């Protein structure tokens, strides 16, 4: 009897080994009969994850105020405080001078000077309010705020130069130097590409 004949009806069924033969082992590396199973997918392979959207780019991403714009904003608030203090001081001085003139004279001799001081006091108070307004609008304002700040800083530069020339080395000269430095920084912060990107950014 031949166990090797597959057509022998007396032979062992297909898939079984004849007695006395060791059982066949499946080939190494295969889980059993048939096609091998697919290898497991390792984490980290395939298409890489999309990189995170950097801060300040793309729709819906908040944009941080540039550092130079923050500096200009702080200087505007400082300038506003100085302007308000000067305006209040001029107003108090004008009132005191007029009271003294009314007490010891007719009051008409100092009325013109008092009027000039009051005008300057009101001007300084108005400039202080404008400085605060611009500083507050830096956060959400558009190109109009930027243009207004450029014009404001340019006029302040001219006024500072006049104070330096006419101050004759006194307090006017010192005040002109301080305001010149502040106006220069504010103007420089408004004419660069960072300021253009900040004030023209999309808002949602």
Per-residue pLDDT, 57: 44
Per-residue pLDDT, 125: 94
Per-residue pLDDT, 12: 54
Per-residue pLDDT, 38: 55
**149-155: long-range contacts, CB 8 A cutoff, minimum separation 24:** 149/72, 149/76, 149/186, 149/190, 150/187, 150/190, 150/191, 152/186, 153/183, 153/184, 153/186, 153/187, 153/190, 154/183, 154/187
Per-residue pLDDT, 152: 96
Per-residue pLDDT, 56: 46
Q: So where are the chain's domains?
A: 67-199
Per-residue pLDDT, 172: 73
Q: How do the pLDDT tens digits run along the chain, 204 residues long?
A: 445 555 655 555 555 555 555 555 555 545 555 555 555 555 555 555 555 544 444 444 557 888 999 999 999 999 999 999 999 998 898 888 777 776 766 555 567 778 888 899 999 999 999 999 999 999 888 899 999 999 999 999 998 898 888 866 677 788 888 889 999 999 999 999 999 999 988 876
Tokens encoding 20: 């006395």
CA distance 169 to 176: 10
Per-residue pLDDT, 54: 47
Per-residue pLDDT, 22: 56
Per-residue pLDDT, 41: 53
Per-residue pLDDT, 43: 52
């Amino acid at each position: 009897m031949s166990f090797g004949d597959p057509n022998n009806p007396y032979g062992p069924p297909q898939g079984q080994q004849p007695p006395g033969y060791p059982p066949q082992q499946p080939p190494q590396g295969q889980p059993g009969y048939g096609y091998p199973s697919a290898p497991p997918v390792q984490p980290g392979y395939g298409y890489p994850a999309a990189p995170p959207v950097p801060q300040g780019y793309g729709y819906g991403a908040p944009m941080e105020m540039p550092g130079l714009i923050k500096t200009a904003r702080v200087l505007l608030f400082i300038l506003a405080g100085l302007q308000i203090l000067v305006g209040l001081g001029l107003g108090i001085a004008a009132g005191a001078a007029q009271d003294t003139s009314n007490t010891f004279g007719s009051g008409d001799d100092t009325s013109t000077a008092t009027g000039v001081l009051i005008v300057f006091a009101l001007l300084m108070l108005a400039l202080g309010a404008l400085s605060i307004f611009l500083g507050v609008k830096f956060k959400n304002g558009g190109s109009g705020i930027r243009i207004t700040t450029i014009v404001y800083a340019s006029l302040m530069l001219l006024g500072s130069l006049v104070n330096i020339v006419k101050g004759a080395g006194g307090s006017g000269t010192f005040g002109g130097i301080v305001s010149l430095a502040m106006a220069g920084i504010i103007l420089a912060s408004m004419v660069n590409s960072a300021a253009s990107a900040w004030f023209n950014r999309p808002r949602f």
